[in-house]
Amino acid sequence: MCAIQHKRQPLGIGIVGLGRFGQFLLAAYEEMKEVKVSAVCDADQHRARAFTSKNTKIYEKFEDMLEDPEVAVVVIATPPYLHATMAVQAAQAGKHVVVEKPLAISLKEAETLIEAASQSGVLLTVDYVLRFHPLYQLVLRLVKEKVLGEFQLFVLINLATQDGLDPHHWFWDLAKSGGIHVEHGVHFFDLCNQLAGGVPTFVQGYAFPGAHGRIDRVAAVVQYGDQVFASFYHSFDRPRCAERTTVHLGLTRGQMILEGWIPVRLILFGLVAPNQLALLQHMLGKPPEVLGTYGSWVQIQAEVSCPARQDEYKRAVQALMRDFVGAIFEGRAPLVTPEDALASLAVAIQAQRNTVL
């Protein structure tokens, strides 16, 4: 006799905040079979009605949405200073919580939130979508397998746009955003923690005020013992057409370069052991180009592309939510744990506090 397969009903989602990213999340989730956007909450009711279907409930007050029994998961896409307070409320209402990065703008708030989720028996995660991007996942596998040797160096250069960030935008208000390291840098601190397999032993931050008085450029130097050195540079002072983000990874026998904030290309080159060529081909989905030999090593180079940037971004958002729904049903931790989010936030806050102007 065949076992009866029980089909899971889609989990109801409530999205708080329908700004640009909230709208992006809404469109991404509406394509998924694992979830159903049951409700949205936004102070701008006209905007909420413009982006939701007639079957989606619209709330002006967050507390009212938390009373909706159809909402099992609350997705918080508000400015950072509201994350912790709203997430605590959601957890105490018995809702699982997905928080747009950062988890909070202070460690005390973050720790209070994690404790509230634990006491309420609900799951909590942070929207670290880069973890779910295929090129970052490939890089992590290559580093863990030591295909190009030991991981030694992480260099981020993020030359971002100021377009859309008017002088009064909350992004520039440290009390609301936490600063660039906290609001944006946590993505990359998290990735570096993953690659290094731990947390830093030293963090130093730098800030560069622009002519307008706003801090639009920051940097950080980070060390993981005597094994890994990392540097992070973020500028939000460019026109959109001049944006460019690169991540350089140095290993003892080679280098990898990721291009794009949502990466579109991975370039790698270096020396591999002959018996690792088959593994590398399997990881890349194609054979690397062999340039020659160096002693007992094979010199290679390769390139992998993911040119559909927005599609990959959407798929990463969906993959994170799919993992979170699986964790809820299966009684396990999500791939991005609250402890992961706290560790990366701690680096960001330390970089913000230990800043040389």
Tens digits of residue pLDDT in 59-94: 999 999 999 999 999 999 999 999 999 999 999 999
- What's 198's DSSP letter? S
CA distance 190 to 22: 22
Q: What confidence tens digit (pLDDT) does each residue in 264-305 have?
A: 999 999 999 999 999 999 999 999 999 999 999 999 999 999
Structure confidence at residue 8 (pLDDT): 81
Pick the CATH number of 11-127 from 3.40.50.720, 3.50.50.60, 3.10.580.10, 3.40.50.970: 3.40.50.720
Quick one: which of 155, 339, 357 has its CA closest to 247?
155
- The predicted model scores a pTM of 0.93
Structure confidence at residue 7 (pLDDT): 67
Which tokens go with 61?
């007050």
Q: What confidence tens digit (pLDDT) does each residue in 93-125 have?
A: 999 999 999 999 999 999 999 999 999 999 999
Long-range Cβ contact pairs of 227-230 (< 8 A, separation 24 or more): 227/150, 227/151, 227/152, 227/196, 228/151, 228/152, 228/153, 228/154, 228/192, 228/195, 228/196, 229/152, 229/153, 229/154, 230/153, 230/154, 230/155, 230/156, 230/192, 230/196, 230/200
Residue 4 has pLDDT above 60, yes or no: no
Quick one: which of 355, 336, 350, 349 has its CA closest to 114?
336
The torsion angles phi and psi of 158, rounded to 5 degrees, stand at: -115, 100
| Averaged pLDDT score across all residues of the chain | 94
Q: What confidence tens digit (pLDDT) does each residue in 211-237 have?
A: 788 899 999 999 999 999 999 999 999
What percent of the chain has a predicted confidence (pLDDT) above 90? 88
